[in-house]
Structures are given as structure tokens and as C-alpha cells.
Structure 1
Amino acid sequence: MSLSRRAFILSALAVAACGFTPVYGPGGVGQKLFGKVRAADPRNPDEYFFSGFIEQRIGRPTAPVYDLAYNLRVAVVPQAITSDEVTTRYALNGTASFTLTEIATSRVVTRGQVSSFTSYSATGTSIATMTAEQDAHERLAEMLADQVVTRLLATTPDSLP
């Protein structure tokens, strides 16, 4: 048996011995949250994309056990300005604060905040710029949703029902 194979087997045994459970493995947090988290109803297009990506990642709630409250903040910041004071590129800076609450007991399971950014060009036609802006908002919502789901999976206790 090669040295790298031995090292892999020993590290796998060490991880198993410390009580490590894969997130999406049997009994893992991913399985405990999948289809059980109801995201708050969206109130604007950014929240619509965000809640849709949350559902894609951890499933549409069939029998919700947890409520996911969130607050998205998105700021549009001019990034590239010509000498004629024409903005040719914009940045979208986004933050998502979230709280996961158990519905039956109103107990806060976890909470946190994530942030990300993206940008888009404003040098094309009006239609191209509007399309690029909408796409940037959708990308930002996806990045924030991915980070929130990662935090939920990483910080939610294994002791959940």
C-alpha cells in the first residue's frame, strides 16, 4: 500500500473517530434542513431571486419546521467614471442578515450576516445596460443565498430534530 493511500485511510479514520458527520450524509444537518425551511416572502425582485435560490439549495418546504427571516441590503455604487463624468461601470454591494427560527418554539437556531459584490457594465445600449444590471442583481442574490445556506449548514447544531 502506498504512503499516500495509508495517509488517506488514517486521516479518514481520524475524522470518523472525532464524530465528524458529512453535512449531506445520513443524519447530517443538510438532511435535517432539506425541505423544512420556509424563507420569508419576497417583497422586491432581489428578495425574489434570493428566496428562489434558497429553495433551490435546501428544497422547497413541504412541512416547514423552521422560518428563515432575512434582510437584504443592496447598494449601487459607480465604479468607473470617464473624464466627461459618465459612469461606465457600476458595482452592486450586497448584505444579507438572516435568522433561522424553529416555528413550534420560536427558538432562534442560528443567525448571521453575509456580504458579497458584483458589477456590471453600462457602456452598451440602454437595453444592454438594463439587462446587465438585472443579471448582476440576480448573480448577487445567488451569491448571498449560497453564503447563507453554507452558514446555515455550518452553524446549525447537529442536535436538531
Structure 2
Amino acid sequence: MWSSDRRNFLALLAAAPVAACGFSPAMAPGGAGHALWEQVQIDDPAERTGFNYVTRMEERLGRAIRPRFRLTWTFATQAVGAAVTPSGNITRYSLIGRVNYSLIRIEGGQTVTSGSLESFTSFNNSGSTLASVTAERDAYERLAVILADQTMARLLAAAPK
């Protein structure tokens, strides 16, 4: 048996359990999340972290063309010193973020799902001013993406048919 034949055989063998369990992509036509694609109007952001959150949500949901749902959300962050030198300088921060969200059906105003999610990331503050500011900005962006992905997972789990 040629090695390429073995690879094809093993790939088919590995895919068999997935096909047998009824797995299908959530955003594919007929998938759980297809009802949300391009149908969720997301509240506008007021600051940079919110912009990163909305951008990630729109990457995952598409821009609303025929909005049937509205996603309301609030974002809160807190930077907490995580590493302190003996002289009292903070060299590392933990960035804690929380998003509260509600998916509301526009027609009728019923809440489809809502919740609160929390996550964290961190950044180093011991380099130059430019390096510290860049690291902090990157940490806020990573946190927004993490929370958007968590929100998306919850929306897919509660997606209307």
C-alpha cells in the first residue's frame, strides 16, 4: 500500500466518527447559528475596546443587512497591579474585563438570551513608554476579542431556529 493511500485512508477513518455524530458547522446553512448571520444589529461602541469588541462580533456574525435581532452590550475593564518591585513600581498588570449582553428580537422585543461574561489578560509595564503603551493597547484588544468570542459561543448555543 502506498503511503499516500494510507494517508487518505487514515483521513477518512478519522472523519467517520465526526460524520456519524451529526456534526455540522454552526454557521453553515441549516446550522444553529445561520439564523443570526447578517441579522444582528450590534449597538455602537463608545471607545476603543468597545470598537474592538464590535469589530470581532461583526467578523463572526456579518454586518446586519436584515436585522431581526439587536445585541445590546456593556463593557467594563479594570487594570490591577500583578507584579510589584521592592521599590513599589508595578511592572505587570492583569486586565480584567466583563461584558453584559442581551440578544433581543426586534419584532416584539423579547430577550432571546442574555448573560455576563468575564475574562482577563495581562501586559508588561517595565519597558519604554512606547513599549508599555503598545502592550497595554494590545492587551485591551486581546481582551475584547476573547470576550467577543465567548459572547459568540453563548449566542450560538441559544440561537433561535
Q: TM-score normalized by structure 1?
A: 0.85
Residue segments in structure 2 that go unaligned for 5+ positions in a row: 1-8
Count of residues in Structure 1 that have an aligned counterpart in Structure 2: 153
Corresponding residue number in structure 2 for 1:113: 116
Cα distance between partner residues in 1 of 2:18 and 2:139? 41
1:3-152 alignment runs, 5 A limit:
9=16, 12-13=19-20, 15-16=21-22, 22-152=25-155
> Which portions of structure 1, spanning 4 or more consecutive aligned residues, are displaced by more than 3 angstroms?
5-13
Q: Evaluate the alpha carbon distance shift between residue 11 and residue 132 of structure 1 in structure 2; reply closer, same or farther with a 3 A threshold.
A: closer
Distance 1:6 1:83, change over 3 A: closer
Where structure 1 has 5 or more consecutive residues not aligned to the other structure, the ranges are none
SS at match of 2:54: helix
* Distance in 1 separating the partners of 2:32 and 2:107: 19
Letter paired with 2:67 = P
CA RMSD of aligned residues (A): 2.1
1:105-148 deviation line (CA, Å, top 9, x unaligned): 10111111211110000011111111110110001000000110
CA, structure 1 residues 60+11, in 2 after alignment: closer, same or farther (shift >3 Å)?
Answer: closer
Structure 1: distance between partners of 2:105 and 2:14? 41
- TM-score norm. by structure 2 comes to 0.85
Distance in 1, matches of 2:75 and 2:40, equals: 18
Identity of aligned residues (%): 36
Task: After TM superposition, give the deviation of residue 10 of structure 1 in Å.
Answer: 6.7
